[in-house]
Structure 1
Amino acid sequence: MKFQFNLVVLWMQLGVGVESAVENAITAIYGQFVVLGCSFTVSDKSSLDKLFITWQRKNAENIVHSYYYGGDQLENQDPQYAGRTSLFLEELKNGNASLKLQKLTFQDSGSYECYIDYKPKPDPSFVSVNVVAHYDEPILEITQKLSSCLLSFKSRGYPKANASWYKGANLSHSLSSKDSSYTSEDGFYWVQSKMEINVTEKHSSYTFVLRNPALNQTISRTVHLLNLESITGTYHPPNNYPLIASCIILMLLVIFVLFCSYSSTQLRRQEMLMVN
């Protein structure tokens, strides 16, 4: 039932009809699967052994999936798609030539062409796939300086997201920040946003917002800070200097008495040795 639900939703979204050369667009999630819709008119179910289906990248020669002689023919399949493609074989008799592509990567983004050789022969259909990824829970780093505090949030996703900082819960005016991003080996974007503030108020709060428009994803996190003195634990010298001074003097006196006693004992021993 879950499979049937996904298939129906995608067909409703695409409004597929290969007679039309309109390119349909799908936003797909990294690591999941997508169904590329394609259909044809079945004239005679007994003639399906003459059906020829080819899925390939638009304006490219690399084969994504082939079907003919009544079965899948994957000898010439691009290795990039090996083990990740399948047709709905039980649906061919109903004119459904849709392709299921699993374990999506960012390299799967692009346009796909569905070519069918069958009577009546339909026009090729095109589907555009955009693979995106949700951003992870942001990693917060706080660096305390002498008179300021550096707040930094970092997160991973795709495509490049927008980062903003705000004072408190007021999201109408963004604050100045230093943003950077880079692409990791697996194709993900790492977005980092830093903001340095002077902690002068008794209590301060700042809100970090990360927006990924491709998935309509918004992550909002608020950081509450105490004043600088509370954060750093500023050391206040004790005000009981007289007591400390007295203890130091007493310790010196004890050391002096012990030294005198030791010297007197040594002197008497030397006198006794001289008498003997």
Structure 2
Amino acid sequence: MLWVLLCVLEALVASFEVSVPHKHLVAIRDRPAVLGCIFTPDPNFSSLVVTWQRQEDSRVVHSFYYQQDQLDRQSPEYHNRTSLYISELGKGNASLKIAAVRPKDTGWYICIVSNDKGTERALLEVTYGALYSEPRLSIHVNSQTVTVQFETEGFPKPEVSWLGEQGQNLSHHLELYDQTEDGLYSMKSSYEVQKPAIKVTFMLKNHLLSQNLQRPVKISYDDAAKRQVIIAVVVLSILCFLLFIGFFFLTVWRRKK
């Protein structure tokens, strides 16, 4: 009889399970993230306790018991940013929604669920990423070369390359990185090319978010046309000067006459 009772208890315990559909979640900057967590539901909803914590320091992210949210012990950085799907709890859905994801939200989370069937937990990791902004182009010209530069912000550090006119990889390009106050990488990438013609392509890849940017740049210089323009300007200037001198002498001659 005791053996039968132990088997029944073991079966009851084994029947309760907490799991996460995805053990790794990529959260995008300023967008909401849903941390999935499901469990074996129990008809006695009043006994349900759901707690989300950070693994590294046990900070409370969100708590639910006595059939309502209990946020007195919630970590301050999550105030007014988290919610459960209350109507789905009775169906075994303990997923957590975090609004407007920030860089500090990255890390490991524990979903802990308790009811009359038992207490179990599951782990998932959140990785943070930010799409790179539209690259801003600037061009710096001197007597012999032209420097083409793109500037953009995102996260994490991207893979950057420059391609030549035939699609070949160009070396010796320069990247400068800085981090903004909200944790983004501010990047400037530049490539110096010789005149008279410029045709290069800037490429950026954010592998975490599968973002690929390609921005071609084409600049043409016609030195012969440039010289013709300069000559025309000089000739026009000389003609204007001669006309001015002629008008001056004509005015003086009339006065004397």
Give the TM interval when normalised to the shorter protein.
Answer: 0.7 to 0.9
| 1:29 alignment counterpart | 28
Structure 2's unaligned 5+ residue stretches are: 1-15
Cα offset, 1:106, TM superposition: 1.3
Taking the aligned partners of 2:246 and 2:93, their CA distance within structure 1 comes to: 98
Structure 1's unaligned 5+ residue stretches are: 1-16, 263-276
In percent, how many aligned pairs have the same letter? 29
Q: Which of 99, 103, 120 pairs up with 1:102?
A: 99
Taking the aligned partners of 2:222 and 2:142, their CA distance within structure 1 comes to: 9
Cα offset, 1:249, TM superposition: 6.1
| 2:213 alignment counterpart | 219
Cα offset, 1:250, TM superposition: 3.5
| 1:75 alignment counterpart | 72
Taking the aligned partners of 2:65 and 2:186, their CA distance within structure 1 comes to: 44
Judged with a 3 Å threshold, the aligned counterparts in structure 2 of structure 1 residues 216 and 185 are, in CA distance, closer, same or farther, namely: same
Cα offset, 1:258, TM superposition: 6.1
Taking the aligned partners of 2:51 and 2:251, their CA distance within structure 1 comes to: 98
What is the CA deviation profile of residues 2-49 of structure 1, one whole-angstrom value per residue up to 9, with x for unaligned ones?
xxxxxxxxxxxxxxx955699811111111111112222224x1x221
Cα offset, 1:108, TM superposition: 0.8
Which of the pair has more CA radius of gyration? Answer: 1
SS at 1:214 equivalent: helix
Cα offset, 1:118, TM superposition: 2.3
Judged with a 3 Å threshold, the aligned counterparts in structure 2 of structure 1 residues 221 and 230 are, in CA distance, closer, same or farther, namely: farther
Q: Give the alignment of 1:11-22 within 5 angstroms.
A: none
What is the CA deviation profile of residues 208-237 of structure 1, one whole-angstrom value per residue up to 9, with x for unaligned ones?
101111111110011111126389x55533
| 1:111 alignment counterpart | 108
Cα offset, 1:123, TM superposition: 3.0
Judged with a 3 Å threshold, the aligned counterparts in structure 2 of structure 1 residues 248 and 101 are, in CA distance, closer, same or farther, namely: closer
Judged with a 3 Å threshold, the aligned counterparts in structure 2 of structure 1 residues 71 and 126 are, in CA distance, closer, same or farther, namely: same
Does residue 158 of the first structure (1) align with residue 155 of the second (2)? Answer: yes
Conserved 8 A contact 2:50-2:112: yes
What is the CA deviation profile of residues 148-198 of structure 1, one whole-angstrom value per residue up to 9, with x for unaligned ones?
11100011111111221111251x423321111111112221111011111
Opposite residue 160 of structure 1, the aligned amino acid is K
Taking the aligned partners of 1:22 and 1:33, their CA distance within structure 2 comes to: 18
Q: Which of 165, 174, 184 pairs up with 1:178?
A: 174
Does residue 131 of the first structure (1) align with residue 128 of the second (2)? Answer: yes
Judged with a 3 Å threshold, the aligned counterparts in structure 2 of structure 1 residues 128 and 254 are, in CA distance, closer, same or farther, namely: same
| 2:230 alignment counterpart | 236
Taking the aligned partners of 1:164 and 1:174, their CA distance within structure 2 comes to: 7
Cα offset, 1:246, TM superposition: 6.0
| 2:8 alignment counterpart | none
Conserved 8 A contact 2:53-2:61: yes
Taking the aligned partners of 1:187 and 1:251, their CA distance within structure 2 comes to: 69
What is the CA deviation profile of residues 69-105 of structure 1, one whole-angstrom value per residue up to 9, with x for unaligned ones?
1111011111111111111111111111111111111
| 2:117 alignment counterpart | 120
Q: How many residue pairs align between the two structures?
A: 238
Conserved 8 A contact 1:165-1:175: yes
Taking the aligned partners of 1:230 and 1:53, their CA distance within structure 2 comes to: 77
Q: Which of 196, 200, 210 pairs up with 1:206?
A: 200
SS at 1:124 equivalent: strand
Taking the aligned partners of 1:90 and 1:22, their CA distance within structure 2 comes to: 19
Opposite residue 33 of structure 1, the aligned amino acid is P
Conserved 8 A contact 2:141-2:147: yes
| 2:52 alignment counterpart | 55
Opposite residue 196 of structure 1, the aligned amino acid is E
Taking the aligned partners of 2:246 and 2:21, their CA distance within structure 1 comes to: 96
| 1:188 alignment counterpart | 184
Judged with a 3 Å threshold, the aligned counterparts in structure 2 of structure 1 residues 223 and 73 are, in CA distance, closer, same or farther, namely: same
Point out the structure with the larger strand share.
2
Opposite residue 224 of structure 1, the aligned amino acid is K
Task: Calculate the TM-score normalised by the size of structure 1.
Answer: 0.76
CA RMSD of aligned residues (A): 2.9
